[in-house]
Structure 1
Amino acid sequence: MTDRRRLLALAALAGMLALSGCTGLLGGGSVSEERLDADPAGGEYDWNESVESDLDAHIVIHENATFSAVYAIEGGGIELFRRDGLGGTNPLDVRAVRYRYPNGTVITGSELRERGAVERTRDVVRIDFPGEGDVDGDRIAFTAGSTPKRFALPTYVTGSYEVVLPPNRRASLPVFGDFSPRPESTTVDDRNRLHVRWDDVQTDSVIVQFYLPQDIRIFGGVFALLALVGGGGLLYYRRQIEALREQREELGLDVDTDPDDLGDDGPPPGMR
């Protein structure tokens, strides 16, 4: 029975390692054609904004906790990943991959894989560009999942960045909103989207924590309600203490026994 339990424990451990990608058994493989050629979140990628603004990274966050990114790459490829908090990396779960040639021609992810490479390992998704891939003006775009009200991604490239938040989101109020690193500018467009701009990002990651203004009102209402309940409880507690004190006084338990208040009739008989 003991040997059987040991075998079950070892099997469970092996399964956990495989699922986490530590053994490489389930972490590798290719990205399916269906995911590579899927429709981008939020519609087509905004190539023009990336090119005309000369941005190294243009990232649009959507309301369904996804983001679309367009990167200008100087080199033969890019590695996409997230850090796992233990010093390692996990492959970014990308979809809707597109490649744009310097002349403006755009190809799908499956076409890119045929002309270059799109490979998933246990650590990263590696994308190699067609041909030499070292041509000024080529760009890669993809869609991936994000976290509601907090965007955090490694800086796959350094340089100028712009992150566009979903409509009606803000990030200026401390505790509820934050930037890392501090941006050079923030603007709001005609769709009420906040644009956060960095001129030269050199950090390991870009982080934007944001909120809906109505979240602040809800939090303020909850805080006021808690304060009211707490204040009412404190007042009730003090009234109970006062009532208990009055009852003790009525029973003579709190009667002052100071000799000056009781009077002094002198010593007992025989002691005078």
Structure 2
Amino acid sequence: MIKFKEIEFSYGDEKFIENFNLNLTPGKIYGLLGKNGSGKTTLMKLLLGIEKIISGKIYFQGKNQEENLNYFRKNIGYVFQNPEDQLVAEDVEDELAFNMENYGYSWEVIRERIIELMEKFSLDGQRKISELSGGEKQRVAIASALTLKPSLLILDEGTSMSDKKNRNKIIELCKKIKEQGKMVIIITHDLEELNFIDEIIYLKNGAIEFFGEKQEFIGKILRDEFQEPMELPSIFKMAKELYRKRNIDLSEIIFSSEKVCDEFWKFY
């Protein structure tokens, strides 16, 4: 479980997060949404101690961050929006070995884990990180975040550089982590990714605008109940127009473009 309790945080003299409370439970995939500057990445950096809270408490698996920061960082895998911000080695294998070496794993265990992850993320034969594409670097970053088998994986726009094939692989990976009773948090602007997400945390100006089931969240979008709507995919726009003009709720079928289009063209 993750628990943010009465968190306060400021950028300089400007208070950004105030009296923030949130409880997240394992065995779920959470979507962390909001416009740029809403506090998504900041919240995750507070969880890892990259940014420092002014007051309040953060707990992970019952442990207080203030006293167990090393435990947090060992058991939470974090993939930055720009993978180059976290890649520290020149070679792919050295990058995957880095965290395990720091925690004293034997070379036999390190080697076995490297082989497993390179195969899983189609990195066989890749060597120099500088020669990789953006999507390949992103896969290296995700593989690196998984080397210690964390209880929580955080992906900050984790599929943004991937083609459809590798994006689907990442989605399936998230589902397997969930099935293991662990937790995934996906920071995203892509509402189509909600298809495989369980619950939504929607932030606005450092505060929670919505927290709950994705179906309820989608319904609120289509009913235009958010004062600060996100950029909508075309299929969401069609469903939203149909609700506005015909009071027809398509939230249950929103991820089926064919069904939404069929309903839309019945009336246009």
- TM normalised by structure 2 equals 0.26
Q: Whose radius of gyration is greater, 1 or 2?
A: 1
Structure holding more helix per residue: 2
Q: Which has the higher contact order (CA 8 A, sep 6+)?
A: 2
Normalization by structure 1: what TM-score?
0.26
Structure number with the higher strand fraction is 1
